[in-house]
Structure 1
Amino acid sequence: MALKRLNKELYDIGCNLPSSISTGPIDDDLFHWQATIMGPSDSPYSGGIFFLDIKFPRDYPFKPPKVRFITRIYHPNINHNGFIYLDILKDQWSPKFFISSANLLDPDITNLFKNNRNRYEATAREWTRQYANKRKDKKKAYVKNDQTSSSSFD
């Protein structure tokens, strides 16, 4: 069932994604995808290129995928390990959801977003400049693999 569902989602996503987003399986493994998001030009993420890792469990769609930003990003819905804070990617998941249902909360960043928008945008712009642009030193741009064990999805 999982393979059939993933093939359908891959087809549907290919027909409906905006040009600023691409996604698909890694090495023909339908259970492991990579996505790339270009930062919207009217946002603090402008000019950034963000990479995500998406892993589907073998019992998908009955269990949610694990979605993680590989590129560091300053965003209220994404923790310091790159995992997205969404109830539907944890205990609120339902087989009726599709990977495209995951609308992208770090409480500290959310608070800053609500109470000091200028500071939030300045920090998001700086992180985008520092971590999501082309440059020589790429080590800082990615969340370390050893941090994944402390994610909210484990």
Structure 2
Amino acid sequence: MPSRQQLQLEFAQRDISFQYAQLCLASNCPLGIYVQLDDDDTHLWHCVIFVSNGPFHGGIFRFDIVFPPTYPTSTPQVYFPPTLLHPLVDPDSGRLLLASRFQAWKPRVNFVTHVLHFVKEVFTEEFLQGLRERAVANTEVWRMFRSHRGLFNKLALQSVALSTAPSSLYDVSGGSGFPNPSIGLNRVQPRSVEGKVGRGAARVDDANGILFTKLDDDEMARLRGEIFGDEKEDEGEPSV
């Protein structure tokens, strides 16, 4: 007979798989966010957000969602690369502070889609304006936003530049453009890094996350044609 722990793990895996499947609905996955499952760890999702507005406009930030061993009674954790200078991102671990929205995770009330929508929201001007010091993970960056906005904007642009640099976008070595949840997990729950949760995230040198491939001019032209159509057709000329 399966143990209680095994049954809980099986239930969690089914719940995680179900929620991932629900992301195919347009309303469940925010525009500009893409998600893929880890190849080895069912409790780990790799994601990327293309920021379209706010101080971090133009940024392409990878992040990981880690489901703790006690999920679904515990809140999933979100990790960004520590190079992202944001009031809610811990500068050492890259963990996004979720407490301002999810003080306690409620199964069947809270879903991962809510976390994804929250991730998109934290980059907006309106959200940043409403933050209070007691709810932030990086007090220095928050105070900079409140009192030295010009300097904060420069740091935000620096985070954007780092996220879109070729060395970050096309990195396959698991460098600074990738989150590393094992840093934060080692502080809170060391055993989980060796077990199911965070196991994949600990393989920093494997670039364990969403990868981008640089296209040459011909590949880019072909892709543009597939998306926007042949310019000759738009001009009334027959396509070859």
Structure 2 length-normalised TM: 0.53
Alignment pair present for 1:12 and 2:43:
no
- Gaps of at least 5 residues in structure 1 are none
User: Matched residues in 2 for 1:93 and 1:12: separation?
Assistant: 19
CA contact (8 A) 1:64 1:89 kept: no
Mark the structure with the bigger radius of gyration: 2
Alignment pair present for 1:45 and 2:81:
no
**Aligned counterpart for 1:85 among listed residues 80, 92, 97:** 97
Larger helix fraction of residues: 2
What residue number does 1:132 align with? Answer: 163
User: Matched residues in 1 for 2:40 and 2:179: separation?
Assistant: 24
Larger strand fraction of residues: 1
Q: Which moved more, 1:11-20 or 1:138-147?
A: 138-147
User: Matched residues in 2 for 1:144 and 1:33: separation?
Assistant: 12
User: Matched residues in 2 for 1:13 and 1:21: separation?
Assistant: 11
Amino acid at match of 1:2: A
**Aligned counterpart for 2:86 among listed residues 75, 89, 92:** 75
Alignment pair present for 1:117 and 2:149:
yes
1:28-43 → structure 2 map (5 Å cutoff) = 29-40=41-52, 42-43=53-54
**C-alpha offsets along residues 94-130 of structure 1, whole Å, 9 cap, x if unaligned?**
323212223242222222222222221221111211x
CA contact (8 A) 2:50 2:60 kept: yes
Q: Which moved more, 1:138-147 or 1:120-129?
A: 138-147
What residue number does 2:34 align with? Answer: 22
What residue number does 1:148 align with? Answer: 184
State, as a whole percentage, how many aligned pairs show the same letter: 22
* Equivalenced residues, count: 151
**Aligned counterpart for 1:100 among listed residues 85, 95, 113:** 113
CA shift for structure 1 position 25: 1.0
User: Matched residues in 2 for 1:145 and 1:5: separation?
Assistant: 21
User: Matched residues in 2 for 1:141 and 1:99: separation?
Assistant: 23
Q: Secondary structure at the match of 1:125?
A: helix
**C-alpha offsets along residues 49-84 of structure 1, whole Å, 9 cap, x if unaligned?**
111122212432112222111362111111112101
- Gaps of at least 5 residues in structure 2 are 1-10, 120-135, 190-240
Q: Which moved more, 1:110-119 or 1:131-140?
A: 131-140
